[in-house]
Amino acid sequence: SITYGGLLSFMALYGAEAHLRNPQYFFLFNAIAIILVRPFSGRIYDRYGHKALVVPAAVLMVSGLLLLTFASSTGTMLLSALCYGLGFGAIQPSIQTWMIQEVHPLQRGMANGMFFNSLDFGVAIGSIVLGSIAKSTSYAIMYRYSALALALLILIYILAHIIGKSRSKARTRLEETKSAAAGS
């Protein structure tokens, strides 16, 4: 949502800086992509879980942001909107569903509220931090830095997955050892 804050706040200004006609169409094509991907990403999530969606969706968002920073035509800008929208449309409900599934059923309302508060907070932080970056560089550079937030998400997600897997294997070995010792 940090990256989304930068898009919401500065797309019109970036469009002027990059001499892009009709930068508002970015949001139309972004929304179309979000609407189109959600039914498919939901089915993928139901079948394979967050592991099948988070990294590819984040990569699509990074691609969309980087493509935007090099856009010199409306077509390239719209392609970047489609990439970003496909990624955002897949990652947002995936993370929300994953979060809700991780809590006790009586805490789902609280978890959902925290999820949306976090999204809003990310938009606010993104607007402030990315605005400061744009002020001292350019909007294109700002969107490149914005893409780093998603690269950090990918890194943290992969590391957490690797650490979680190794902890799970260690826990399984410990339980097997205890079972073998108890059976002796």
Residue ranges making up the domain that contains 28: 2-156
Tell me, what CATH number does 70's domain have? 1.20.1250.20
Let me know if residue 104 belongs to a domain. Answer: yes
Within the chain, how many helices (H) and strands (E) appear? 6, 0
- Torsional sign, CA 114, 115, 118, 124: negative
Q: What is the pLDDT of residue 163?
A: 82
Let me know if residue 31 belongs to a domain. Answer: yes
Let me know if residue 175 belongs to a domain. Answer: no
Let me know if residue 178 belongs to a domain. Answer: no
The predicted-structure confidence for 115-141, as pLDDT tens digits, reads as follows: 999 999 999 999 999 999 999 999 999
Number of domains within the chain? 1
Q: Which residue has the higher pLDDT, 114 or 169?
A: 114
Helix then strand then coil, in percent of the chain rounded to 5, is 90, 0, 10
Nearest to 84 by CA among 156, 13, 8, 160: 8
